[in-house]
Amino acid sequence: MGSLFRSEEMALCQLFLQSEAAYACVSELGELGLVQFRDLNPDVNAFQRKFVNEVRRCDEMERKLRYLEKEIKKDGIPMLDTGDSPEAPQPREMIDLEATFEKLENELREVNQNAEALKRNFLELTELKHILRKTQVFFDESVPTVYKSSGAYSSSKYRRYPQMADNQNEDEQAQLLGEEGVRASQPGQNLKLGFVAGVILRERLPAFERMLWRACRGNVFLRQAMIETPLEDPTNGDQVHKSVFIIFFQGDQLKTRVKKICEGFRATLYPCPEAPADRREMAMGVMTRIEDLNTVLGQTQDHRHRVLVAAAKNLKNWFVKVRKIKAIYHTLNLFNLDVTQKCLIAECWVPLLDIETIQLALRRGTERSGSSVPPILNRMQTFENPPTYNRTNKFTKAFQALIDAYGVASYREMNPAPYTIITFPFLFAVMFGDLGHGAIMALFGLWMIRKEKGLAAQKTDNEIWNIFFGGRYIIFLMGVFSMYTGLIYNDIFSKSLNIFGSHWHLSYNKSTVMENKFLQLSPKGDYEGAPYPFGMDPIWQVAGANKIIFHNAYKMKISIIFGVIHMIFGVVMSWHNHTYFRNRISLLYEFIPQLIFLLLLFFYMVLLMFIKWIKFAATNDKPYSEACAPSILITFIDMVLFNTPKPPPERCETYMFFGQHYIQVLFVLVAVGCIPVMLLAKPLLIMQARKQANEEVQPIAGATSDAEAGGMSNGGSHGGAGGHEEEEELSEIFIHQSIHTIEYVLGSVSHTASYLRLWALSLAHAQLAEVLWTMVLSIGLKQEGPVGGIVLTCVFAFWAILTVGILVLMEGLSAFLHTLRLHWVEFQSKFYKGQGYAFQPFSFDAIIENGAAAAEE
């Protein structure tokens, strides 16, 4: 079990693997997920590596699987996801898998092609059916139109119809002739009228009609009818609306023109026999063919469904297998080939504590592959910075993620995550303190924790939900801590609970109460003398005039006290870093002056608050009565600026205790004196040490600057042992140190003030909750009469939704972000560098999870 407080100790190891055992060994290591391999051929591109062929085959298999998956999803067949991961198959199984996928894919493609062809056929037939049916209507209805008035068609062409009623029996087309047709038929030439029937997309029809009219100068006649049911487009499966049209014309020239226009508008033309009997016959034929096609289509669909259902059972399993094989070959590509081609050489980062487990896994791998020569794991010396690996469990993971979001810790640096587990929910709760809202949040977190397994198995790609679920322990802790601070503030949905009975009592008589609008309770007479046992006295709930003033004074001081303690804690953490890295110069000339600076100025201010709380009370006589209590802020400002304090009120004292003035002057002088020490001591000492160590003697500077100089400049090179401590220029050290000092000194002031956000947000939260209660819920409560209950029901639901939406979600998010900032900036800036890089072990679990996520996008 590694320590939570620092990242794991890592070792760079060389791994010699027999070529035949390499696959099995890497597979075992992948299951283990504790080894990070380094690329030993960084200058070789992806296509020149040894196992490029295998990787490509895996890619091909994955593509086939994705195709299968897409088809399965299209049909809405549920995929079996058992959640267990099968072991990586042997290399020879790959061929079987490939063959299976090949067969499946081909089968599916064939089925799909057939289905498409059939569907196209079906579409054509249905269109033909519609044409026959609709054109029949056109032909039929032309007979009655002749006898009806011409009002139905106001076009001038139709006015002639009654005149030609006598020859309508000879030829159906003749009725549809225009003037020209009449003229043409009158000489008895009996010109045959041609027609073309087809189907066109409905939205193209108006343009089509206009085009026809213009191109043929109005010499063609177009009739159209909508097909009511939408037809399925066989290529993409969309539902499209189409219309049947029939065009009558005269002469071959017009015919070619019309056909070209039809082609241009992508209309499909169908042959339509002229004689009604033929048409009827054809319609019958079409109907029978459609029925035949339907059965065939049904069978094809059944077949496809069977194939897909069979594939769906194994699909996830296959995916896992293929991804594992691919990952193994990908890893093998990172290895170096021995000269003799007998063994592969790998370099990897390994946590020191797990070397045993890794050895075991390697032995298992060798046994499985049947190789006789055991693999060799050999520790190497290196000057490179090892990766940072913090072992986490499901509880600490989210907190570690909060830290890593700022920056991954430098190797073996103090890890703030374990402290964050407590401070984060606590500082959040200081801002979010409300028993009711905290309970909602805690219940939500508790529910997620209780249903953890089921919810984790669901695996949605809803990002917001995943964030909530990942942070379930944080949410739960934040909720519980908020309930606690809510009890302290005595706020539940902005109302107070009077659990123990208020310790204030009213001593006014009836007439006083009746005559005065505002009354004061004196802490001398009306207060019991002992405080309410837990949290705020509920009497403040009804103190409309000075409730906020009282709360502000309390919350402001509390936030400064927490802030200063938090920052001092951060500085103390830097002490652990300096001692661990044996950085004596930083310890003496950075940590100590920093701590002194913080203690003498800001912790002194905190002490003043406590002194004020203890010494001054309303029941005391002057000079320690409430009227004499000095303002801490003014005292502090006077102290730092060496101002002479304002004369106190009568019979009061300027200072709270004896010698305060001298102590304050001393403190400020010492604190200011710390600044040049922080600024200059370290660079000067390094300069001096370098001067002394002009020869090859290992200088002190090597020890002092290894945290920074070694850490930063050493990243890439691991060639030379010496000479890496000289790399940081002296001027850079000076600049770096001055920036650091200025940041610290100015930061102490601004960070202390920054903790006031604890007060500000808590005030805002309390006020918002109160506003919501008085503006919304009160309306429901103030309803008179029996209707009140019903109104209250509605108002309550509205209030509940607003409470969750605004107060819990939005305010919670805002408080969360402020807490995050307090940790990242105010706390971690005191000790945390965050310049490491994360340990990314070769692990099948991670690869499969990422693969699944990438595929779903």
Burial class (CB in 10 A: 0-12, 13-18, 19+), 201: middle
State the minimum distance, in angstroms, from the CB of residue 853 to other proteins.
Answer: 25
Closest C-alpha among 403, 401, 399, 405 to residue 421: 399
Q: Strand 268-270's sheet: what is its strand order?
A: 221-226, 242-249, 194-201, 268-270
State the minimum distance, in angstroms, from the CB of residue 791 to other proteins.
Answer: 8
Tell me whether residue 719 or residue 785 sits nearer to other proteins (CB atom): 785
State the minimum distance, in angstroms, from the CB of residue 299 to other proteins.
Answer: 28
Neighbours of 382 (CB within 10 A): 14
* 618 touches other proteins (CB under 8 A): no
Cα-based distances in Å from 827 to 416, 419, 482, 588: 9, 11, 21, 21
Interacting residue with other proteins among 207, 422, 542, 853 (CB under 8 A) = 542
- Whether 394 and 420 have beta carbons less than 8 Å apart is answered as no
Any idea which residue has 């007479």 for tokens?
525
* 543 touches other proteins (CB under 8 A): no
Tell me whether residue 284 or residue 800 sits nearer to other proteins (CB atom): 800
* Cα atoms in the 13 Å half-sphere on the side-chain side of 491: 26
Mutual angle of helices 396-406 and 463-470, in 10-degree steps: 110
Tell me whether residue 217 or residue 510 sits nearer to other proteins (CB atom): 510
Task: Say which amino acid occupies 738.
Answer: S
Task: Say which amino acid occupies 736.
Answer: H
Residues in contact with 111: Cβ distance below 8 Å, sequence separation at least 6, in sequence order: 300, 303, 304, 307
* 786 touches other proteins (CB under 8 A): yes
Task: Say which amino acid occupies 7.
Answer: S
* 352 touches other proteins (CB under 8 A): no
Tell me whether residue 422 or residue 797 sits nearer to other proteins (CB atom): 797
User: Taking contact as CB under 8 A, which single stretch among the options 117-125, 603-611, 663-671, 774-782 is the one that binds other proteins?
Assistant: 774-782
State the minimum distance, in angstroms, from the CB of residue 446 to other proteins.
Answer: 14
Reduce the secondary structure of 95-129 to three states and give it as a string: HHHHHHHHHHHHHHHHHHHHHHHHHHHHHHHHHHH
Reduce the secondary structure of 655-673 to three states and give it as a string: CCCCCHHHHHHHHHHHHHH
State the minimum distance, in angstroms, from the CB of residue 771 to other proteins.
Answer: 13
* 793 touches other proteins (CB under 8 A): yes
* 775 touches other proteins (CB under 8 A): no
State the minimum distance, in angstroms, from the CB of residue 496 to other proteins.
Answer: 5
State the minimum distance, in angstroms, from the CB of residue 736 to other proteins.
Answer: 55
* 792 touches other proteins (CB under 8 A): yes
Map the footprint of other proteins across residues 20-79, applying CB under 8 A: none
* 546 touches other proteins (CB under 8 A): no
- Whether 825 and 374 have beta carbons less than 8 Å apart is answered as no
x/- track of binding to other proteins for residues 514-533 (CB under 8 A): x-------------------
Neighbours of 513 (CB within 10 A): 10
Interacting residue with other proteins among 790, 809, 813, 853 (CB under 8 A) = 790
Q: Determine which helix (DSSP H) or strand (DSSP E) holds 426, and give its type and residue range.
A: helix 417-432
Tell me whether residue 38 or residue 782 sits nearer to other proteins (CB atom): 782
State the minimum distance, in angstroms, from the CB of residue 210 to other proteins.
Answer: 47
Strands 239-240 and 231-232: antiparallel
Tell me whether residue 663 or residue 792 sits nearer to other proteins (CB atom): 792
State the minimum distance, in angstroms, from the CB of residue 495 to other proteins.
Answer: 5
- DSSP letter assigned to residue 648: P
The pair of structure tokens assigned to 370 is: 């049947």
Tell me whether residue 561 or residue 766 sits nearer to other proteins (CB atom): 766
User: Taking contact as CB under 8 A, which single stretch among the options 156-164, 214-222, 535-543, 622-630 is the one that binds other proteins?
Assistant: 535-543
Helix, strand, coil percentages in the chain from 3-state DSSP, rounded to 5: 65, 5, 30
State the minimum distance, in angstroms, from the CB of residue 714 to other proteins.
Answer: 55
- DSSP letter assigned to residue 600: I
Tell me whether residue 588 or residue 792 sits nearer to other proteins (CB atom): 792
State the minimum distance, in angstroms, from the CB of residue 526 to other proteins.
Answer: 15
Tell me whether residue 443 or residue 669 sits nearer to other proteins (CB atom): 443
Map the footprint of other proteins across residues 437-496, applying CB under 8 A: 495-496
* 507 touches other proteins (CB under 8 A): no
State the minimum distance, in angstroms, from the CB of residue 475 to other proteins.
Answer: 16
- DSSP letter assigned to residue 35: -
Q: For residues 12 and 9, what is the distance between their CA atoms, to the nearest angstrom?
A: 10
Q: For residues 541 and 552, what is the distance between their CA atoms, to the nearest angstrom?
A: 14
* 538 touches other proteins (CB under 8 A): yes
In degrees and rounded to multiples of 5, residue 646 shows phi and psi of -65, 150
State the minimum distance, in angstroms, from the CB of residue 803 to other proteins.
Answer: 9
State the minimum distance, in angstroms, from the CB of residue 556 to other proteins.
Answer: 25
Burial class (CB in 10 A: 0-12, 13-18, 19+), 738: middle
Tell me whether residue 665 or residue 800 sits nearer to other proteins (CB atom): 800
Tell me whether residue 185 or residue 496 sits nearer to other proteins (CB atom): 496
Answer whether the bond into residue 623 is a cis peptide, omega within 30°: yes
Tell me whether residue 18 or residue 490 sits nearer to other proteins (CB atom): 490
Neighbours of 706 (CB within 10 A): 16
Interacting residue with other proteins among 310, 746, 749, 800 (CB under 8 A) = 800
x/- track of binding to other proteins for residues 679-718 (CB under 8 A): ----------------------------------------
* 788 touches other proteins (CB under 8 A): yes
Query: Can you give the binding site for other proteins, defined by CB under 8 A?
Result: 495-498, 510, 514, 538, 541-542, 774, 777-778, 780-786, 788-790, 792-793, 796-797, 800-801
